[in-house]
């Protein structure tokens, strides 16, 4: 692969993409149109590639399918990405999705959950794992941010919050680490 040749002219990269994906035919011409172009996305066009031609939904057991954490004060932590992030690559410290700028040391909390714990927007807190019988871990020095998140849940950015997820805290079927459902407690920041 002649990487220097590709870097020298991004049209070559788009030509390579077009040679593999039919939806990108004539990519270089279309990308130069003001406003760009829209790739086909069947659900947005109400096209369902199923036997019935209709959307198919699967039911799951519910939100209580994961083991409960220890203690009544346990919340569920999903780890999340910011706007300035692609997978684990962090390009900047801004998250315009959630109006957080210049930092990532925050935990998003529901207003009611904050009130129950005596926490106000801007307070310094720590997160600690609350996995029954599991090793305890702490993510310290976070700023509590009131956010429209489901009661019983908090959210923090990954990979920073990965410290709270034990290596053996995995989905029973897939073996994938359970980064979207970690039992945690929010406690006042350690001195």
Residues of the chain predicted below pLDDT 70: 60-70, 191
Look at residue 37 in the predicted model and tell me its pLDDT.
78
> What is the C-alpha separation between 111 and 164, in angstroms, rounded?
23
Look at residue 53 in the predicted model and tell me its pLDDT.
92
DSSP string computed for 33-87: STT------GGGGT---STTSS--------GGGSPPPSSTT-EEE-EE--TTEET
Look at residue 66 in the predicted model and tell me its pLDDT.
62
Look at residue 149 in the predicted model and tell me its pLDDT.
95
Q: Considering only CA atoms, which of 73, 158, 79 is closest in space to residue 116?
A: 73
Residues 6+ apart with CB under 8 A from 20: none
Please count the residues of the chain: 191
Tokens of 3: 């990487």
Look at residue 172 in the predicted model and tell me its pLDDT.
77
Look at residue 133 in the predicted model and tell me its pLDDT.
76
DSSP string computed for the chain: --HHHHHH-HHHHHHHHHHH-GGGTTHHHHHTSTT------GGGGT---STTSS--------GGGSPPPSSTT-EEE-EE--TTEETTEE--S-BTTTTB-S---EEEE-HHHHHHTT--TT-EEEEEE--TTSPP-EEEEEEEEE-S--TTBEEEETTGGGGGS-TT-B-TTT--B-TT-EEEEEEEPP-
- Domains of the chain are 3-45 (no CATH), 67-188 (2.40.40.20)
> What is the C-alpha separation between 148 and 126, in angstroms, rounded?
20
186 alpha carbon, distance to own chain's centre: 19
Look at residue 64 in the predicted model and tell me its pLDDT.
60
The predicted-structure confidence for 33-70, as pLDDT tens digits, reads as follows 888 777 778 888 899 999 999 998 877 666 566 666 66
């Amino acid at each position: 692969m002649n990487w220097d040749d590709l870097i020298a002219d991004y049209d070559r990269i788009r030509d390579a993409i077009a040679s593999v994906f039919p939806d990108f035919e004539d990519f270089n011409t279309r990308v130069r149109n003001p406003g760009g172009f829209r790739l086909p996305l069947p659900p947005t066009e109400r096209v369902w590639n199923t036997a019935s031609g209709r959307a198919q939904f699967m039911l799951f057991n519910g939100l209580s399918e994961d083991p409960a954490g220890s203690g009544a004060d346990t919340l569920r932590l999903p780890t999340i990405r910011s706007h300035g992030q692609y997978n684990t690559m962090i390009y900047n410290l801004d998250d315009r999705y959630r109006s957080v700028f210049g930092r990532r040391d925050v935990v998003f909390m529901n207003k009611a959950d904050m009130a129950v714990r005596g926490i106000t927007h801007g307070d310094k807190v720590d997160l600690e794992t609350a996995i029954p019988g599991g090793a305890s871990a702490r993510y310290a020095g976070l700023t509590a941010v009131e956010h429209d998140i489901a009661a019983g849940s908090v959210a923090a950015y990954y990979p920073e919050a990965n410290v709270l997820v034990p290596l053996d805290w995995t989905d029973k079927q897939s073996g994938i680490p359970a980064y979207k459902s970690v039992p945690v407690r929010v406690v006042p920041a350690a001195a």
